[in-house]
Amino acid sequence: MNSLPEPVVTLEIREDAVALLRISRPDAKNALNNAVREQLAQHFRALAADVRVRAIVLTGSAQCFVAGADIREFADATPIEMYLRHTEYLWEAISRCPKPVIAAVNGFALGGGCELAMHCDIIVAGESARFGQPEVKLGLMPGAGGTQRLVRAVGKFQAMRIALTGCLVPASEALMIGMVSEVVSDDRTLPRAIELAAQIAALPPLAVAQIKEVMLAGADLPLDSALVLERKAFQLLFDSKDQKEGANAFLEKRKASFVGE
């Protein structure tokens, strides 16, 4: 009888509508193997449809976010084997999640770990965090968005330096070049990420979802087209109960109660 795969990603759904996902492969520094990718994808697909959840925090351990992909799983792989794995479908479960995703990063976020963090919408980094795309040192290149998301985040010249040298980027530098959202002390990384997620979760879900969707979709459009997309989403929100509740609560000087309708 086949046993269920060992849970290497754990899920906690909190009372503040925040879901906390933890990657837990301590013996491998949380390296991304197929089990981690599949369990992450399963969780993200489920959380996307879970009405209890309005924001998601993704983290590793206090010492390491994700040290990279598990090299043992691809060291001798052929191109066709890599193609047939179709890991892009697993990554898409994260990138297409309609709910805000916040990465809490301590320690190494390298290779696939750096790409995983860049799939998120906000990155809170501890002072110990180190980011990098060192695939070039293995005769490879980033293959899960590392070249494309990185250049969009930090611009051509920083992205080229990081990807072509495989250098490590400390948290303070990552903040300076726009690679992360905030840097805090290591003991504050996860609490701060949860704090931000709870703050977002308390806001109108439809407005939050539209902001995320339009920002991501508009980033790859000409400005005029992106502005049309923004206007239509803005106008659409006037049909929501939450918009009326927010306006009335402001005028009545009371706290709004948002229901996601």
**Catalytic residue, candidates 115, 171, 174, 197:** 115
Please say if 135 is a catalytic residue: yes
Please say if 69 is a catalytic residue: yes
What residue has token string 């269920």?
4
**DSSP codes joined into one string, 99-166:** S-EEEEE-SEEETHHHHHHHTSSEEEEETT-EEE-GGGGGT----SSHHHHHHHHH-HHHHHHHHHH-
Across the beta sheet with 108-110, what order do the strands follow? 108-110, 130-132, 169-170
Please say if 112 is a catalytic residue: yes
How far apart CA 131 and CA 214 sit, in angstroms, is: 27
Please say if 38 is a catalytic residue: no
**Catalytic residue, candidates 69, 104, 159, 207:** 69
**Catalytic residue, candidates 135, 159, 163, 246:** 135
**Catalytic residue, candidates 68, 107, 112, 132:** 112
Catalytic (active-site) positions: 69, 112, 115, 135
